[in-house]
Amino acid sequence: MKIQSLAVIFIIIVLPISLILTSYTQSHVKTLSLQTSYDSKLSNSTYDALKAFQLNTINSDTSDIANSKLRDIEASVNTFFNSISSNFNLVGYNKNVLKEYVPAVVYTMYDGYYIYSPFINTLSSEEKTMKDETGIIVDRDLSSTSYPEGEKLSGLKPYIHYSCRYKKNSEGIDVVITYSLDNYITIQGKIGTENIYKYGYLLDNVENEGSIYRNINISASENLSEYIDDTSTPYKYRKINGVKYYYDENGNEYGQHWFSFLNGEREYQRDNFKENDDTAILYYREAKEFTDFVREKLPNLNSNNAVDESGNSLANKFGNYNIFGIDTEKSIEDPDSNFNSHRLDVIRYSIEKNLSIAIANYNDYSGVKTNFLMPVLKEDEWDKIINNVSIISFMQGLNIGGKIYNGYSIVTNNKNKETVNEDSIYIVSNDQYYKPTDNTINKDTNNLKGIYNIDFERKSYTNNEGFKKYFFPNKAMGSYSSIVNQTNIEDTDNIYKYIAQKGGNLAIAYFTAIGRERYSMYKTNNDSQTLKENIYIE
């Protein structure tokens, strides 16, 4: 056969294949480009939602109260959908269409989480609205409207705690333990014949009635001060159950007095507080007492004693080890302790289980033809979720050419009123603030102070003329190398050990601050009057 004939045959065979491969490659590139673009849009919208939640809580005097928190989260959800609508508007999707492709948005809080997803109204039209009857906040105006029974609504489902039930029949143990993003737990149930309802922090290494922690002396300190508007005079303050009480030295018709804020209005306080703040000592003392109580009542509670709601064993989920037992190698608050390992496993299991159900059930609610499934999250993504306040958003079912889009975004934040974790404390030295693991901090400097990180965030208020004005509660400036570049930050898997080994005034400032802030943060279990009595002047 002539060479020309072979060439023609080769062209006839290869050219179509080449064209098909070129088309396939271009289609694949376009699909990958669209997926990257959608991932970016989803991530940006999730970030906008978290930023809205952060700003609302920082600038609210009532953000710790349940109803106020629900409003903040609902506003954040609206921000998410408004943002995602703006981001996807150029590709032809509006807000109502996009909602059909969002099976769930999750808000992980301090001791539990909310899931925003569709549900069916089970109330009849003669009954009260969903908001009045169940407390669920939906994305419609419920002020004067009831909805027909069986109608699909979208809203925040009831709060789910990071809880796990434990049964050990040989010791008469049947308790539910609620965990949190730190070492605070709540125990409810029965141990033997005794009904138990106790809560508190778990800590080792506490001595001398709370005045020594990890061989560091914890002592009462002077009241902190901060600016409450754009004036040049700071006010000293105390914080109790999440509320700050400021001292007015100039006085008015009440004379020199303490006051708080509610909805921007000053509220006069008749009470007077001690000159020195000993809440850090109270934190370590009460944590020691609670830890001793837990180890006395539940010395042999193992992770394989966990059961589900029906009493079926969850041993295959959590392994088999003692949860609260004394470990000569590790302290109970250490990140790699048995307690913390189990705590994180419980949080992950709870979120994963309920989120999988919510997304799977979305197939019954959605108006689109796609199979909604819980995606497999990576281990490092779970580490972010179970250690921080975060928002997890999901989007599935959009056609991106070569496949169906199945994306999710995780955005975390540690500057909020929800939690005081190990990274929430900054160290102030010479009018600059640093991360506590910054190796340029002189640990023996006399004026070191530990300050809660949200106290450096900008706040706003409305003046008498109705204008919104902004101010910073703390005038210290962030160290660029420490806060922004983080070039001087030392890596550590255990900040407790790191700070204790550093010692000096750095350790005193850090451990005092984390104790003070955790003791004074809002918790639903707290009795405000009892907390106040601990720090009143008689």
Which pairs with CB-CB distance under 8 Å and at least 24 residues apart come from 318-326?
318/342, 318/345, 318/346, 318/349, 319/345, 323/298, 324/202, 324/294, 324/295, 324/298, 324/299, 325/295, 325/299, 325/300, 326/204, 326/295
Query: How confident is residue 22, by pLDDT bands cut at 50, 70 and 90?
Result: low
Q: What is the pLDDT of residue 134?
A: 43
What pLDDT band is residue 124 in, cutting at 50, 70 and 90?
low
pLDDT of 100 reads 83
| CA 321 vs CA 294, 304, 332, 387, 482: distances in Å | 16, 7, 14, 22, 39
Residue 141 is predicted with a pLDDT of 43
Predicted pLDDT at 147: 55
Predicted confidence (pLDDT) at residue 61 exceeds the cutoff of 50? yes
Report the chain's mean pLDDT, rounded to a whole number.
Answer: 84
Averaged pLDDT for residues 498-510: 95
In this prediction, residue 465 has a pLDDT band, given cuts at 50, 70 and 90, of confident
Confidence band of 130 (pLDDT split at 50, 70, 90): very low
Q: How many CB atoms lie within 10 A of CB 3?
A: 7
pTM of the model: 0.86
Residue 128 has pLDDT above 50, yes or no: no
